[in-house]
Structure 1
Amino acid sequence: MAVLSVLALALLSTGAAAKVCTNVTVPVDINARQGVFDVPVLQGNLDATTFAQNFTNIGRNFTDDALVDYQTVTGRYNISAKFCRPDQENGTNPTVQVLTHGIGFDKSYWDIPFNAYNYSYIDVAVDDYGFSTVSIDRFGIGNSSKGDPLNLIQAPAEVSALYEITKMLRAGTFPTVDTAFKKIVHVGHSFGSVQSYLLSALDPTATDGLVLTGWSLNATWLPLTLADWNVHLARLNQPLRFGNISTSAVQQAYSYLDSFGAGNTDLVEILDRALALVGIDISRQDIWEELATTEVGDIVNGVNETVTPIPQDLPTGYLTWVDFTANQFAFLLPGFYDLALGLFSERTKQPVTLGEIFTLGNGAPPTTPFSGPVQIVTGRQDVIYCGGDCLATGGVAESIPAMAQMAFPNASAFEAYIQPNTGHGINAHYNSTGAYHVIQQWLLSQGLGSS
């Protein structure tokens, strides 16, 4: 009842608010000790498959096999960020949430530009509860600096970037923001939760509260996930975004499609006519399924965009899952997400690096000395961290995420909340805003709201 009263007060006091956001490039000085791995340079998709076979082989520890040394990585790199605040801030002690996305996403995961932003986490946190937010593209991903996908873009370097951004927010030196935040909460999703956890172990004073979404301590199903992804080279999977295809090449493709006489915006019509010419009768729905949900759809993603994507020419050590069918298996619960949003997430997906795969939780300390409040929020049907049912514990705990309490022996408060009818990608489900309110409500109950 007390929490509901706090919620009602927050809604009444900020109901008319609207977020004001600024996109900013943040130079950070990275300093991280991380592994040196020796694997052959990937030449094609079969090499990516070989990597996945080696990594998921139950008879070997491929990370240890590939590790040949350690090195300290230093340098100045740029992190792309978006700072949002209420248009009218009440009080003098605002709280900022630092939002770190998981694999396959960028910072737009927290403010999805789909269906009038109805899935926006930031809208709920800022407009309804008066928080400020900083969402970042992790180092090596999105609009942040890219680099060697094997021995530079790894978890330790990404955590170092997150740490530097956190220190700026604490000191009042974050670009375009003149506030020195006394209360900083770190909210992560999946790999972003891993990094938030690592940050709290690196410096338990860096954060005042942890919200770890799409996460548990159980990594049993990570090999299953990699197998499901059937990883391909990102530059081959979506060549218009991740390869080196020029605008002129895209225009030539348009001209070629025009030669079929169907116009360059209806690929289903083009394929339908081509198949009819050779006597193959396939329904337009089946053609659409083939184009939209398999790698054919990924290859043509970008052809019909209003603005031709700028090719990123990523090295071959940047990988991605094969198509939307793999996307659904890992991230989405059938029947509880909008297919249009699912396909949007496929068109805008982000890659993962070899270095990230090697350091995905590898070497993470079993506990953190962090002494503030911790909340874990995971979808009931999360495949990656719960094997498809977060309540399937055999009676030894309330949920699989709840078992992570042992990693926070000094936490002032701990809660594991299981969001119903939700897969791993919480923010892409119909009921995502329900989870958002649970998080904000819990933060207020822990005294971490803006004041």
Structure 2
Amino acid sequence: MAPQLRFTPFLLLRGFAAAKTCTNLTIPVNIESRQGLFKTIPFEGNLDATTFSQEFTNIGQNYSNVLLKDYQTVRGQYKISAKFCHPDNGTTSSVVQVLTHGIGFDKSYWDLPFNNYNYSYTDRAISHGYSTLAIDRLGIGNSSHGDPINVIQAQAEVEALNDITGLLRNGSVPSIDTSFHKVVHVGHSFGSVQSYWLSALYPDNTDGLILTGWSTNGTWLPATIASWNLHLARLNQPLRFGNSSNSGVLNLIKNDNQGEGLIKTILTLLQSVEVDLPNQDIWDVIATTEVGDLINGYNQTIEPLNYPGGYMAWSDFTANQYAFLLPGYYDLALGLFAERTKQPVTAGELLTIGSSPPSSSFSGPVLVVTGEQDAIFCGGDCYATGSAADSIPAAAEVAFPNASVFEAYIQPNTGHGLNAHYNSTGAYEVIQNWLEDHGLES
């Protein structure tokens, strides 16, 4: 039977801004992760990324098994970049929501600065009195990077998430002067995979699960990888992701000493009356092709993130829309913002994304929130179950045989990237109400 969840129409929530205090911090974590040791494969150019995609999506083989040589234990101390927020009244809730982003994003996914934070999940949680900790997953953003095949894998990221959770419970996180009675894990997509995985390995280290953009059906992962048309991150957005190995590309793009830098040349050419391109064509060339990604990051004052080969990114904004955004139900400017700020995925993550345990013994409450037309976990229609279940996400109930309650909520008019759609705040309110209804109030 479909769950009856409280729903506040998103139109009543638009323009809301929570009063919050936030601190950016770095959390040292110690991990010990038993994981795959894969054969070394080349990642020198974009054709190598294409070859990886071809092998990964080959229906006749399991590419993870093809590359697997052995198993290893990865040990070490790493740094996790995080953003801690709490209500702007000097109080810190005894319940903290740990927010884990998916592929292509970083911790800003939960507190998008676009349009005066109008899409901020953090603001909605803060308005209900919760504290939040949004993290850059291990290997991504401003967290520690590492070997993209044999270190930055799903299991290692789960171990980092588990260590952070223990530190929160013990009051041992730097710059957070409190311990938390309850920790709720909120994930999106790959972040939901990791939150689920944590609940399977360490069921006593979470008090509640909110899994957004998720189901247990991985049928459409190969189609997703194919649609991304993967490039090496350092070549796709060299001004943000570049490193010393492509310094020549960086110089070509940025060298404006003689007014001949590639960016200036492209813009001048497209705007030239001699070319006589309509404005729409100019926009299409810049915004919806790799040209836009080459320009992204230009004039930024931050240092490049220095991702080596083996870190990959989807090719351009068209691939972004296909996987994450439902046409007509998102702000085009926000889509372009997401493309400018996208983050990569490692080969190791893709090779291990399907390795999570088949079920979890977690005995607390579980809520799955997925967009009605999620392409990655529902193939574009979350209700297309052939009457086998109320929805594709609802079928995940079998993975939680001991859960105190399991419910699946389908957000209408929404694709995979739930937080980037017009009605995102409606889903946020469903989540906060559900937590309060199931013993996880702030």
Q: TM-score, normalised by structure 2?
A: 0.92
Alpha-carbon distance in structure 1 between the residues aligned to 2:357 and 2:18: 41
* Alpha-carbon contact 2:242-2:250 (below 8 Å) kept: no
Compute the displacement of 1:259 (Å).
8.5
Aligned to 2:284: 289
Alpha-carbon distance in structure 2 between the residues aligned to 1:213 and 1:105: 14
Alpha-carbon distance in structure 1 between the residues aligned to 2:71 and 2:6: 50
3-state SS of 2:187 partner: strand
Q: How does 1:178-197 map to 2 (within 5 A)?
A: 178-197=177-196
* Aligned residue type for 1:368: S
* Aligned residue type for 2:71: Y
Alpha-carbon distance in structure 1 between the residues aligned to 2:261 and 2:401: 67
* Aligned residue type for 1:416: A
Q: How does 1:146-165 map to 2 (within 5 A)?
A: 146-165=145-164
Compute the displacement of 1:270 (Å).
3.4
Compute the displacement of 1:249 (Å).
3.2
Per-residue displacement from partner, 1:189-248 (whole Å, max 9, x unpaired)? 000000000100111010000000000000000000000001010000001111134999
Q: How does 1:237-386 map to 2 (within 5 A)?
A: 237-244=236-243, 245=247, 249=251, 253-257=255-259, 264=264, 268-273=267-272, 276-277=273-274, 280-303=275-298, 305=299, 307-362=300-355, 364-386=356-378
Compute the displacement of 1:319 (Å).
0.3
Unaligned runs of 5+ in 2: none
Change (3 A) 1:268 1:441: same
* Aligned residue type for 2:238: P
Alpha-carbon distance in structure 2 between the residues aligned to 1:154 and 1:310: 25
* Alpha-carbon contact 1:3-1:445 (below 8 Å) kept: no
Compute the displacement of 1:4 (Å).
6.2
Q: How does 1:28-67 map to 2 (within 5 A)?
A: 28-67=29-68
Change (3 A) 1:196 1:270: same
Alpha-carbon distance in structure 2 between the residues aligned to 1:246 and 1:163: 40
* Alpha-carbon contact 2:372-2:412 (below 8 Å) kept: yes
Would you say 1:86 and 2:87 are equivalent positions? yes
Change (3 A) 1:93 1:259: closer
* Alpha-carbon contact 1:89-1:130 (below 8 Å) kept: no
Compute the displacement of 1:170 (Å).
0.6
Compute the displacement of 1:3 (Å).
8.0
Aligned length: 430
Per-residue displacement from partner, 1:354-386 (whole Å, max 9, x unpaired)? 000001122x21110000000000000100000
Q: How does 1:69-218 map to 2 (within 5 A)?
A: 69-88=70-89, 94-126=94-126, 128-218=127-217
Alpha-carbon distance in structure 2 between the residues aligned to 1:86 and 1:17: 8
* Alpha-carbon contact 1:268-1:288 (below 8 Å) kept: no
Alpha-carbon distance in structure 2 between the residues aligned to 1:271 and 1:354: 36
Alpha-carbon distance in structure 1 between the residues aligned to 2:371 and 2:192: 14
* Aligned residue type for 2:255: A
* Aligned residue type for 1:290: V
3-state SS of 1:346 partner: helix
Compute the displacement of 1:64 (Å).
0.4
User: Does 96-105 or 310-319 show the bigger shift?
Assistant: 310-319
* Aligned residue type for 1:424: H
Compute the displacement of 1:394 (Å).
1.0
3-state SS of 2:204 partner: coil
Aligned to 2:394: 402
* Aligned residue type for 1:326: A
* Alpha-carbon contact 2:5-2:430 (below 8 Å) kept: no
Aligned to 1:421: 413
Alpha-carbon distance in structure 2 between the residues aligned to 1:326 and 1:367: 32
* Aligned residue type for 1:214: G
* Alpha-carbon contact 1:240-1:309 (below 8 Å) kept: no
3-state SS of 1:448 partner: coil
* Aligned residue type for 1:74: R
Alpha-carbon distance in structure 2 between the residues aligned to 1:292 and 1:16: 30
* Alpha-carbon contact 1:173-1:180 (below 8 Å) kept: yes
Q: Runs ≥4 in structure 1, deviation > 6 angstroms?
A: 2-5
3-state SS of 2:205 partner: coil
3-state SS of 1:355 partner: helix
Q: Considering only aligned residues, what root-mean-square deviation do their CA atoms show, in Å?
A: 2.4
* Alpha-carbon contact 2:200-2:357 (below 8 Å) kept: yes
* Alpha-carbon contact 2:17-2:118 (below 8 Å) kept: no
* Aligned residue type for 2:366: V
Per-residue displacement from partner, 1:65-86 (whole Å, max 9, x unpaired)? 1000000000011000111111
* Aligned residue type for 2:364: G
Alpha-carbon distance in structure 2 between the residues aligned to 1:38 and 1:316: 15
* Aligned residue type for 2:376: I
Unaligned runs of 5+ in 1: none
* Aligned residue type for 1:285: Q
Change (3 A) 1:309 1:178: closer
Q: TM-score, normalised by structure 1?
A: 0.91
3-state SS of 1:26 partner: strand
Alpha-carbon distance in structure 2 between the residues aligned to 1:4 and 1:217: 25
Change (3 A) 1:45 1:251: closer
Would you say 1:387 and 2:386 are equivalent positions? no
Alpha-carbon distance in structure 1 between the residues aligned to 2:254 and 2:61: 47
